[in-house]
A and B are shown apart, each in its own frame.
Chain A
Amino acid sequence: MIDQSIYSLQGDLRLKLIEMYHSANAGHIACSLSCIDLMIGALIHHKKEEDSFILSKGHAAASLYVCLNHTGEISNEELKTFYKNGTKLPAHPAANKFTGIPFALGSLGHGFPIAAGIAKANQLKKNTAYSYVLMSDGETNEGTTWEAAHFAVMHKLDNLIVLIDKNGLQGFGHTKDILGDTASEEKWQTLGFEVLSINGHDLEQIINGIDKLKKSKNSKPKVIIGNTVKGKGVSFMENEMKWHYLPLDPGLYQQAVNDIRKQYRA
């Protein structure tokens, strides 16, 4: 059973996110809106204390910060320091500051090998913890994705759950026009992963999907391909590459707030 109160986080955390970005006058907003639902499902709903969660697409750090704010690890006061001089919360997660942020991430393609190493350690120790890693579809361009994927299959890491935020857009264009679809279901299936393709904004699909994969002890590493919309929840940002980078001016900020309130009844 899914606790119904979790659905309200979809709106609440989005509002918190854009407020943070707005006061910081910072970009990467659409990247965070794209993966926040996957994070609510994996990090807030599913993750147990012994599990690990790695946000490999470090440019969505703000979504990690609001989730850890919700779980109580990052205070409201701390959250206000986002992007400011002297902060523990820079634009990409920093090392050695919070238990919930075990690794500094931001250079793409680092989180998957680390998560595979954690899963391997859990396997060696025969403990039942899960290792989660969230990547972006653009990030799967990185060669380490394919090194780590083969490693995970070879070592039968069925305690490893890879989440791909597949919004179809990357730094300077559509993924299909750059290197093609490096996050395609077929490729991951062929490699030997158990693949689940879902709507990456539907919390029920996310939570039940992870649940199903956790129970599947078939020696196959898992991947959830979350089909998402970059900028999800803010109409003028949706599927617009420029919102990978742009900050919000006061007028647009108000419009974004209204959009989120309307869509999520937040």
Chain B
Amino acid sequence: MRKAFSNIISKVAKDDKVIFITGDLGFSAFENIQESMKNRFINTGVAEQNMIGVAAGLAHKGYKVFCYSIAPFITYRCLEQIRIDVCFHKLPVFVVGNGGGYGYGIMGATHHSIEDIACMSSMPGMTCYIPSFVEDVETSVLEILESGTPAYLRLGLGKKSPIQQTKPECINTVSSSPEAKITVLALGPIINNIIAAMETEGYKEKVNLFSAVKLPFDNLNAPFLQSIRNTKKLLVVEEHIARGGIAEHIALSLMNKNIHLDKFKSLHALGYPSGLYGDQNYHQAQSGLDTGNIQKTIKEWLTN
């Protein structure tokens, strides 16, 4: 997704009100925009709190500012600057975190961000964008710029989308079938594990698949609500801890709407259950977010 992000930034950066700040990252990804943006490309060094404060000052004077780093560093390290300097003043500062979830794999726990959605979605007036597919990156960036309000963009290792992309909804429809028995909602590129699970077992007709692209869930779209009402079974899959993740968000939304389910299950990041480390697939499997475990859950629900 980083390449797609770099491509869309190089397009929107033609607007001389756009500033791109990096916290000393972007080797072999952002050289092009560095060259084309000239003095509007700023490397503020390894100093994330200052980066957000400076961005707020620039935004106050009329600039639209993207701030980029590895997801954990640009969320937890400078959360207070995001809360006060940016969100309290509804400034157009856009926080971009690369490697959401276990994205940085063997780099280790310091580089993972499995609590970022909880933090960022709780910031006042903040909209979170979590592209599932590569194509979602461009539509998200364009909407973020148009909105001009605080935003968090969580990038991961994305694949091409199986569907035609439109504007990012809170919940996008990825696949649906009139015979579906189960509704599955996924956060981010983990959706590819679900797609794989559906294809391997031929479950396509039994599952309606949705991606949660935008938080908060202030507008649950009609096809998703219809699917929930029809199937009464909701499986939520996210590379994020349960607390503050989309399963909690969606549960609250559905209860507020008085929508009842027969079955509800959350598959989510469990942290480091074995205390051992590996690549992104390893950590997904440790948390039961792998294709095999997703298949197993779907199978259980279809047979019971």
Interface residues of A in 116-168 (CB under 8 A from B): 116-122, 124-125, 131, 143-144, 147-148, 150-151
The contact of B60 among A117, A125, A147, by CB within 8 Å, is A117
Question: Would you give the shortest CB distance from B296 to chain A, in whole angstroms?
Answer: 47
Residue of B nearest to A105 (CB): B84
B54:A114 contact, CB within 8 angstroms: yes
Asked if A95 and B88 sit within 8 Å, CB to CB, the answer is yes
Docked complex: B59-88 residues within 8 A CB-CB of A: 59-63, 80-81, 84-85, 88
A113-B45 in contact (CB<8A): no
Is the beta-carbon distance between A104 and B88 smaller than 8 angstroms? yes
Tell yes or no: A192 within 8 A of B by CB.
Answer: no
A103 touches B81 (CB 8 A): no
A115-B57, A147-B47, A151-B45 given as contacts; is B89 within 8 A of A121 (CB)? no
Confirm or deny: B50 has a beta carbon within 8 angstroms of a beta carbon on chain A.
Answer: yes
Q: Which residue on A lies nearest to B49, using beta carbons?
A: A144
A-B contact count (CB 8 A): 93
For B89, the chain A residues whose CB sits under 8 A away are 95-96, 102-104
> C-beta contact mask, B89-129 vs A, less than 8 Å → 1, else 0?
11000000000000000000000000000000000000000
A75 sits at the interface (CB 8 A): no
A105 to chain B, nearest CB (A): 8
Cβ–Cβ < 8 Å partners of B53 in chain A: 110, 112-114, 116-117, 144, 148
| Pair B85/A116 contact, Cβ less than 8 Å | no
| Contact of B2 with A by CB under 8 A | no
Contact in complex: B62, A121 (CB < 8 Å): yes
Q: How far is the CB of B17 from chain A (nearest CB, A)?
A: 10
Would you call B40 an interface residue if the criterion is a C-beta within 8 Å of the partner chain's C-beta atoms? yes
* B191 on the A face (CB < 8 A): no
Residue A107 interfacial (CB < 8 Å) = yes
Considering residues A95, A96, A114, A147, which has the most beta carbons from chain B within 10 angstroms of its beta carbon? A114
- For window 34-53 of B, CB contacts with A under 8 Å fall at 39-40, 42, 44-45, 47, 49-50, 52-53
| Interface pair B49/A121, CB less than 8 Å apart | no
Question: Interface size (A, Cβ < 8 Å)?
Answer: 29
Say yes or no: B60 contacts A114, CB within 8 Å. Answer: yes
A110:B85 contact, CB within 8 angstroms: yes
Residues of A within 8 A of B40 (CB): 124
**Is B8's CB within 8 Å of the partner chain A?**
no
Q: Is the CB of A104 within 8 A of B57?
A: no
Is residue B58 within 8 Å, beta carbon to beta carbon, of the partner chain? Answer: yes
B55 at the interface (CB under 8 A from A): yes
Q: A95, A96, A117: which contacts B57 (Cβ < 8 A)? A: A117
The answer to whether A120 and B60 touch across the interface, beta carbons within 8 angstroms, is no
Name which of B40, B61, B62, B81 has the most chain A CB atoms within 10 A of its CB: B61
Q: Chain B CB within 10 Å — which of A96, A109, A121, A125 has the most?
A: A121
Residues on B facing A (Cβ under 8 Å): 39-40, 42, 44-45, 47, 49-50, 52-63, 80-81, 84-85, 88-90
